[in-house]
Amino acid sequence: MILTTPTAECVKWRNQLLDGVSPQDVGFYRSRLDELDRTKGYVAANTWLRDSGKRIEIDKMLSRLGSMRPCVQAEAKRLSKKNINTALVWVRSVVDRLWYCEEWIMDLTGDKLSDWAKEKSRRFEMSAKGKLVRLHDDFFEFVKAQAKLAGSLFNCWDDLDKIEALIHRMFTPEWWKRQAKRQYRNIENIRRECGQVCYKQSAYVSRWGIQRFRKQRQANRAYLESMEAVNQYQESFTLAQLAQKSISNPINCKAELMTRIKGCQHFAVENGHKCWFITLTCPSKYHAIHKETGWRNSKFEAFGRPTPRDAQAHLNEVWQAFGKACSNKGIHHYGIRTVEPHHDGTPHWHLILFVNPEQSGAMLGEFRKQAYKVDGEEAGAAKRRFEARPIDPAKGGAAAYVAKYVAKNIDGLNTDGECIGIDDETDLDFINSAERVQAWKSRHGIRQFQFVGSVSITVWREIRRLKDSIPKTFLNIYEAAKANDWKRFTQLMGGMGAGRNQTLKPFYESLELNQFGEPKQCVKGLIAVTAEYLSTRLYEWTVQRVGSGSGLGLDLQEAAKPFPSSRVNNSPPRDYSRLATGGGVYLCQ
C-alpha cells in the first residue's frame, strides 16, 4: 500500500528544507513532490527531495543574487549536467565574491552606494575613536580587519605614519566608495566565467561592462566640466579644458606615442640595430572560450577560471624572467610593449624590440625559452605562443607597423579622424572596438603601453612646459623636446638604457602634507647631473567648483573632522602620541 499523504512532520521538514528558495523554484519543487506523493508515495517523494539537497542549496544561493541571477543560473545549470559538486563549489565562490561588506556589490550603485559609504565611514569612525578613548588592546587588529574586509590593498602595517593616513582615509565616504567600485571587477569576471565575454556574445567586455564604462565616462566628463583650476594670476580653466590639453586627450596620447616610436626607430637605424615584432600569448588554460566554436575551454575551468589580471601577471612573469636573463647575458634591447585583449578578454602582448644584430639570436632564443616554460608542449603552443618577425625599415619600419595597434587600442581613428577599418577579432569597426578595449583596460586595471629601455618621459613632458629663459645646461635638450625630436632628445639624455645616469632627472619635493597627513611628492622641476636646478612648475593652482570664487571644500576634508585641515598645507595636526602596549601600535589624539 502506497501512503500518498505526507505526515505533519514531513510537511514541516519539507518547508524547512525549501526555506530560502525563490518562489518560482519552490513552485517546481512542490509540484514535483505532489506528483511523487500521488504516484509513488510520500516516502519516495522525501527521498527525492533529500537527494536534491545540493540542487536546493544552489537554488537558495541563486535566489539572493538579484540582477546576476540569470547568467549565474544558466552557468550553474550547464555545470550541473557535468557534475553537481562542481556547480555547487562554483556558485559558492560567486556568492563569496559578490557579497561585500554586508551588501551585494551589484546593488551598490548611485545613491545607494553613497549612502552605504557614508554609513560605513561613520560606523568605522565611531568604533575607532571609541576604542582609542578606552585604549582597547585590539585597536590595531580592528583597523586591520576592517581594511581587509573592505578589500584594501594596504600592506604597510609596520609603518605608523601610513597607518595614521589609512585611518584618516577610512573616516571618509570616498575611501569606502573606491573600495566598493574596485569590486565591480568581480562582477565582470563572473560574467566572463558565464560566457558573456566572447566573440559570439560581447567581445572584450560584457554588455554590463561596456554600459558601466559609458556611464562612468559621462559622470567623469560632467565632473571635469563642473570644476575649474585657478592660478595665482586669477586665470581659470575648467578641468575639462585642461584634460583636452593633456595626454588624456586621445589625439595627444597617440601623437606622443608615435613621436617616441619614430624616435626609437631613427635611433635604431642610426646605430645599426635590428627591429623585431614579437607577439606573446598565454597558455590555453588562461582562455575562457574558443573563438571559432564558442565552446567553453575545459582547461580554463580546471585551472580555477583565471581572470584577465591573472593572465597579465603570467605574461609579466615571462617578461621579468626574460629581462633578468638578458641582463645576465649582457643583451641590451629597447622598444615598446602594447597589451590588447583576445575576444574573451584574455590579454596578449605585441612588442617592438630593437637590438644589436649580433645579439638578435640570443635575445629571441631566451624570449622563446621563457614563453614556452609553462605548458610549452600543449597543442597549438608552437604556432601561437610566441611569434617573432623582423621589420624592414625600408617598408615603413616600426612606426608604420605599430601605428595600427596604437590607434585600434585608443580611439580607432587615423590622423584624419576617420575609422581605420574593421577589427578582425570582433568584426566591429575600430571605433566601437577601441571603446571596448578602453572599457576592458579600465575594468581590469591593465596598462596598455609601456616603453622599454628608453629615457624619462617625465623629463620630456616637464621641459616642454617652458617657453623661454632656458639655462644653457638645459637648452639643447629643451630644443630637441620642443622640436618633437625623440631621437635627439634620447641621445642628449644619455642614450637608450641610460637609466639612472640620464643627463636630467625629475626633481620631486614633498614639503606639503595632504589632507591625510602624508607628504605629497610632487614634480617641481628638473635637476641636471651638475646639480643645476630648473623649475618647471610656474603656477600655483587651486581647484574649485566653477564660479565659486574660492578653493574647493572637499567632502573628504569635512569627513575627516575632528582632524581639521587648511588650504595651506592640507594637513591634520601631528600631535599624536604613540602607545605600545600588548597588542601592538596605537594611535591617540
Torsions phi, psi of 236, nearest 5? Answer: -130, 145
- Rounded Cα distance between 535 and 227, Å, is 27
Give the whole-angstrom CA distance, residue 386 versus residue 350.
10
Which one from 29, 42, 204, 405 is the annotated catalytic residue? 405
CA–chain centroid gap for 582, Å, is 38
Helices (H), 40-83: 42-51, 53-62, 69-82
What CA dihedral angle connects 430, 436, 438 and 439, to 10 degrees? 170
* Rounded Cα distance, 244 and 224, in Å: 11
Question: Among residues 462, 451, 526, which one has the least CA distance to residue 259?
Answer: 451
Q: Are strands 227-231 and 236-238 parallel, antiparallel or unpaired?
A: antiparallel
Catalytic site includes residue 204: no
Which H or E run includes 241? helix 239-245
Is residue 508 within 8 A of residue 523, CB to CB? The reply is: yes
Q: Nearest Cα to 462, choosing from 539, 536, 534? A: 536
Nearest to 117 by CA among 181, 169, 177: 177
Give the amino acid at 310.
D
All cell numbers assigned to 467: 617657453
Q: Choosing from 42, 100, 334, 401, which is the catalytic residue?
A: 401
CA-derived radius of gyration, the chain = 29
Place of cell 527531495: 49
- Report phi then psi at 284, rounded to 5: -60, -25
362, 394, 368, 370: which is closest to 382 by C-alpha? Answer: 368
Strands in 541-545's sheet, in edge-to-edge order, are 236-238, 227-231, 541-545
Quick one: CA dihedral 317, 320, 326, 329, positive or negative?
Answer: negative
How many other β-carbons are positioned within 10 Å of the β-carbon of residue 30?
Answer: 14
Please, what is the Cα angle at 183 between 182 and 185, to 5 degrees? 85
Distance CA 24, CA 29 (A): 9
Distance CA(218)–CA(409), nearest Å, equals 20
Tell me if residue 401 is catalytic: yes
Bridge partners of residue 587, in order along the sequence: 578
Q: Which of 91, 24, 94 is nearest to 55 (CA)?
A: 91
**Residue 411 per-residue DSSP state:** T
Residues labelled as active-site residues: 401, 405
